[in-house]
Chains A and B, each alone.
Chain A
Amino acid sequence: MLTVQNVIKKYGKTAANDNVCLEVGAGEIALLVGPNGAGKTTLINCIAGLMRYKGDIYICDISNKLNNAKKMIGYVPKIPSVYDLLTVYEHIEFIARAYELNDYKDYAKELLDCFNLADKKNTLGRDLSIGMQKKLNIICALLSKPNVLLMDEPLISLDPQAAIEVKNVLDSLKQTDTSVLICTHLLNDFKELWDRIYFMIEGKVVASKVRTSKTKYKTLNLEDLFLDVTGQYILQCADSLLVNDNDDKTENNMQTTD
Chain B
Amino acid sequence: MKALSYLIYKKIKNYFIDYRYNVSKLAILFIFIILIMFSFYSSKFNFATRDISELYALIFLFYLSTYIVGSVQGLRAGTSFFSKADMKFLFASPIKSRLALLYGILKQTGISFCIGLLLLLILPWIKQIYNMTFTNLVILLVCYLIVVLTSNITAMAIYLFASDDIDKQKLVKNIIYVFCALIFVVILLPAIAKIMTGKSILQAIVLASSAPVISLIPIAGWMQVLTVSWIIKNKIMFVISIIPTIAYIFSTIIIILKLKSDYYEDVICRLEIKNNPQDAPSVEIIKKTGLKKGRKSSVFYYKQLLENKRRGNLFFDKYSVFYILAAFVFALFTQDKTLAPLFIFTVLLSVFATSPARCVEEFNNHFIYLIPANIFKKLTFICAENFFKIAAESVIIFLSAGLMMKASITDIVICIAARITFGILYITVRILCEKFIKANTNKIITIILYFSTFIMISIPGVFIGSLLKNAYPLVSQLGCILAVSSIWNILSSILIVYLCREILSYQEL
Please give the residue numbers on chain A whose beta carbons come within 8 Å of chain B beta carbons, in ascending order.
45, 48-52, 65, 67-68, 70-71, 73, 75, 77, 81, 83-87, 89-90, 93-95, 97-100, 122-124, 126-132, 140
Contact = CB atoms under 8 A, between A and B. Distances in A.
Give 6 nearest A-B pairs by CB, closest first.
A129-B278, A70-B372, A127-B283, A50-B507, A85-B310, A85-B307
Contacts of B364: 81
A73 B506 CA distance: 14
Contact of A87 (B286, B370, B374, B506): B286
A68 B372 CA distance: 7
Given A86-B291, A94-B367, 14 more contacts: A50-B508, A51-B506, A51-B507, A52-B506, A65-B505, A81-B366, A85-B311, A86-B307, A89-B290, A98-B367, A99-B372, A122-B289, A124-B310, A131-B278
B389 interface: no
Nearest to B282: A127
A86 B305 CA distance: 11
Given A49-B370, A67-B372, A93-B290, A83 B507 contact: no
B366 A93 contact: no
A97 B295 contact: yes
B105 to A, nearest CB: 29
Interface string B369-384: 1111110000000000
Interface residues of B, number: 36
Contacts, number: 106
B135 interface: no
Nearest to B302: A97
A87 B289 contact: yes
Contact of B286 (A98, A122, A140): A122
22 contacts: A45-B507, A48-B369, A49-B370, A50-B506, A51-B508, A67-B374, A70-B371, A75-B366, A81-B364, A83-B367, A84-B307, A85-B307, A86-B306, A89-B290, A90-B289, A90-B303, A94-B367, A122-B285, A127-B280, A127-B283, A128-B278, A131-B278
Contact of B505 (A49, A83, A99, A140): A49
B289 A129 contact: no
A98 B373 contact: yes
B46 interface: no
A75 B303 CA distance: 21
Interface of B: 276-278, 280, 283-286, 289-291, 294-297, 299-300, 303, 306-307, 310-311, 364-367, 369-374, 505-508
Contacts of A68: 372
B365 A124 contact: no
A45 B370 CA distance: 11
B160 to A, nearest CB: 26
A97 B283 contact: no
A52 B277 contact: no
A70 B507 CA distance: 14
A86 B371 contact: no
A93 B291 contact: yes
Contact of B369 (A50, A100, A127, A130): A50
A98 to B, nearest CB: 4
A131 B508 CA distance: 25
A73 B367 CA distance: 12
B134 to A, nearest CB: 47
A58 B352 CA distance: 44
A49 B507 CA distance: 8
B484 to A, nearest CB: 38
Nearest to B293: A97
Contact of B296 (A100, A122, A124): A100
Nearest to B295: A97
A83 B300 CA distance: 11
A78 B507 CA distance: 15
A71 B294 contact: no
A150 to B, nearest CB: 10
Nearest to A120: B283
Contacts of A71: 372
